[in-house]
Amino acid sequence: HNNVPQGLSSAMFTLNMRHAEKFLSSVGSDCGIANINIGTSGAEIGGAFGGEKETGGGRESGSDSWKQYMRRQTNTINWGTDLPLAQGIKFDLN
């Protein structure tokens, strides 16, 4: 858990799936969005969007907006070896 009042998005970069599973569990990230091998801006997946703690206030989309008494988290795992940027942004250096 981060020792900060905000809790919108978090990310972890690892090839160790045990570390990834711990990060996505209740003892890991306490944010509304948690990504593995994708930055906090993440890929656009169309998942339920919202934060926890002082940045919380419910989900803006998705089918779980009524689940006010549960801690819900949207997780994205990049199983590949490249790191995609949000919204398909590319930096061609050639």
Locate the domains of the chain by residue range. Answer: 1-80
pTM: 0.58
pLDDT tens per residue, range 51-74: 666 666 555 555 656 555 566 677
Q: Any idea which residue has 């919202």 for tokens?
A: 50
Q: How many angstroms from the chain centroid is the CA of residue 6?
A: 14
What sign does the CA torsion over 81, 21, 64, 52 have? negative
pLDDT tens per residue, range 9-33: 888 999 999 999 999 988 888 888 8
